[in-house]
Amino acid sequence: MRKLTLISLTILLLSLTLATPIFAEQEDNIETYNSEGVRTDEFSLGDAVYLKGKLTLKNWNYTVYIVKHFYDDGTPLVWKNGTTKLTDIKELVVYSTTVTTDKYGNIPLTNIWDCTIPGYYDIFVDNGNGVYGPNDGLDSFDVKGAGLFVISETYLGPIAMLLACFTAVLLKYRRPLSLRG
């Protein structure tokens, strides 16, 4: 009886282990930095974006693609290793450039994008075959599922509100004066 319970428990535990999805919290092999070499995923309009990382192919010319993370209808772009082709996502690519790895596969801190425009982006570093695969680099899943975020002008809202408050205070102080006069 005890043996049967033990076997049942083992089966239950095994099935639970197998049913649990494996969350591969894998570090991206490439990441974004600001012009001072500080690791960041948040940029302001017009900021320069730098890239640093390590890839499998050594002394290799990789093509870097800045890719919009969301389609026009708001659907997020989902990267499928071995499946997502550059031709499938070409309307999302906003800029491309090249980087070269050293003899260890490292990408030194390299300026990859100067004309940042507001939005959420992923960075895809392709080995040249036009398919997202194991030898490639991907920066994604950091902010709202995207690799980086460029702050839009709407973030000037709080400053505009502060200015409005300041003006209101000034007017409040002016009124008693005018009443006095």
- The contact set with Ca ion (CB under 5 A) reads 126-127, 129, 131, 133, 136
Cβ atoms of residues 62 and 100 within 8 Å: yes
What is the distance between the alpha carbons of residues 54 and 105, in angstroms, rounded to a whole number? 5
Residue with structure tokens 């102080």? 173
Rank residues 133 and 145 by Cβ distance to Ca ion and give the closer one: 133
Tell the smallest beta-carbon distance from residue 34 to Ca ion (Å). Answer: 27
Cβ atoms of residues 115 and 49 within 8 Å: no
Cβ atoms of residues 65 and 126 within 8 Å: yes
Residue with structure tokens 């890239």? 51
Rank residues 116 and 140 by Cβ distance to Ca ion and give the closer one: 140
Residue with structure tokens 């095994």? 14
Tell the smallest beta-carbon distance from residue 104 to Ca ion (Å). Answer: 20
Rank residues 34 and 135 by Cβ distance to Ca ion and give the closer one: 135
Tell the smallest beta-carbon distance from residue 41 to Ca ion (Å). Answer: 23
Rank residues 60 and 70 by Cβ distance to Ca ion and give the closer one: 60
Tell the smallest beta-carbon distance from residue 166 to Ca ion (Å). Answer: 53
Those residues whose C-beta lies under 8 Å from the C-beta of residue 80, and which sit 6 or more positions away, are: 132
Rank residues 31 and 126 by Cβ distance to Ca ion and give the closer one: 126
Residue 11: C-alpha distances to residues 1, 6, 15, 19 (Å): 15, 9, 6, 12
Tell the smallest beta-carbon distance from residue 95 to Ca ion (Å). Answer: 18
Cβ atoms of residues 127 and 86 within 8 Å: no
